[in-house]
Amino acid sequence: MADVTLSDIRKSYGAVKTIHGVDLDIKNGEFVVLVGPSGCGKSTLLRMIAGLETITGGTLNIGDRVVNDLDPKDRDIAMVFQSYALYPHMTVATNMGFSLEHRGASKAEITERVNWAAGILGLGNLLDRYPRQLSGGQRQRVAMGRAIVRNPQVFLFDEPLSNLDAKLRVVMRGEIKALHQKLKTTTIYVTHDQVEAMTMADRIVVLNGGRVEQIGAPLDLYDRPANQFVAGFIGSPSMNFIEGKITEAGFQTSGVVLPLPKSINTAMGQAAVYGIRPEHFRLSDHPGHAGVPAEIVLIEPMGPETQVTMKLGGNQVTGVFRERITSAPGEVMHVSPEVGSIHLFSEDGDTRLN
C-alpha cells in the first residue's frame, strides 16, 4: 500500500491540452473515485498513473518514489480494465497467475496466491474453466483476481462495470467495496456513473474538461457542491436549476417567488441560478406562503416514491415525493422547497453564493 501524489500533472497531445495541472493527494489505503462526463480526462489521468500514457508535465509519486519515467511493470500497480482483458486460451487459474509466472515466481507460490485470491472472490470452483465458460460478472472477478495475486501497492480500475447489466453492476459494486475493506489497498477508480462514485468512494474527484472541479467525501459534494457543474453531476435524479433574480421577497423567477436561504453572499437584485434537488421538495397542504403552485406534467410511480415532472411558473422541474400522488397531469398541487437544502449559484454557474 502507498500514498499517491499528483503535483501539477499535465497532458498534451501536440498543441491540444487535455489535462490542465491536476493536484491530488491520495492517502495510503484510500478509495478515490475519478468521475466526470465522457472526455473529461479521467481515463487519461488513470493511464498516466499506470504508466500507459506519458506525462507532459508535473510530478507523480507512488509511495516515496517519483515514477514519471518508470515502466508500468516497475510501478507496483495493478490495473483492472473495462474489457476484462483475459486470455481466452488460458484457464481461470492460469489467467490469474500469469503475471506471477512472468515475474519468475515458483509454482508453489503461484498456486498459493491464486488459491488465496480465488477464496476472497468466490472463484474456487471455477479455476479450471475458460473465460468463454464464464458470465460477465465471473470474468470481472477473474480480472480482479489477476490484480490481487500480485499484492500491488495500488489498484487502478478503469470503468470495470460498464459492460455489465444494471443488476450485476449493483452486485459487483458491493463486491469491489467489500474487497477494498478486506485488503485496504490504495485504490483509484474511474467511472462516468455518479451512483458508483457516491456508493463506493472515500473521496470523489469531479473532473470536467481536464480540470478538477471539486474534491471531497461523497456527502460533502452532495450537500455543498462548489459550483453548478458539480451540483448537476452529483445526485440522481439531477438537481433542478432555475434562473431568476434575488429580491427581498425571495427568488423571483417567471411567475413565482421561491424561498431563499438565510445566508446569501450576494446583493439584492442580482441575477442567479437557484438549485433544488428533486428529493428536497415537500408537498404543501396550505397554498400561499407555505407553498408555490405546481402544474403536474407527468407522474411516474416508482413504488416507495413518486417522481413528478411539474411546472413552477415557466420552469419545468422534477420532484421526488414519498407520498403517492393521486392528482392527474394538468392539475395543480402546491409544493415547498426545503429552505435548508437550497443552493444558489452565480449567473454563470461558477460560484456558490450560499
- What mean pLDDT comes out for the span 264-268? 77
Residue 218 has a CB neighbour count (10 Å cut-off) of 18
In angstroms, the CA 266 to CA 179 distance is 46
Query: Which pLDDT value is given to residue 85?
Result: 84
Contacts of 56 (CB under 8 A, 6+ apart): 10, 11, 12, 19
Query: Which pLDDT value is given to residue 350?
Result: 96
pTM here? 0.92
Band of residue 288 on the pLDDT scale cut at 50, 70, 90: very low
Query: Which pLDDT value is given to residue 339?
Result: 92
Q: Helix, strand, or coil here: 110?
A: helix
User: Residue 286 pLDDT > 60, yes or no?
Assistant: no
Candidates 189, 192, 227, 163; CA nearest to 37 is 192
User: Residue 74 pLDDT > 50, yes or no?
Assistant: yes
Mean pLDDT of the chain: 93
Q: Give, for 235, the enclosing helix (H) or strand (E).
A: none
Query: Which pLDDT value is given to residue 84?
Result: 83
Band of residue 236 on the pLDDT scale cut at 50, 70, 90: very high
HSE-up of residue 219 (Cα within 13 Å, Cβ side): 0
Three cell numbers, residue 157:
480500475
Candidates 259, 236, 235; CA nearest to 248 is 259
Q: Which domains does the chain have, with CATH numbers?
A: 4-232 (3.40.50.300), 239-345 (2.40.50.140)
HSE-up of residue 293 (Cα within 13 Å, Cβ side): 10
In angstroms, the CA 233 to CA 331 distance is 31
Percent of the chain at pLDDT > 70 equals: 98
- What mean pLDDT comes out for the span 258-264? 86
Q: What is the pLDDT of residues 135-184, one digit of tens each?
A: 988 999 999 999 999 899 999 999 999 888 889 899 999 999 999 999 99
Q: Helix, strand, or coil here: 172?
A: helix
Lowest mean pLDDT among 57-71, 192-206, 239-253, 273-287: 273-287
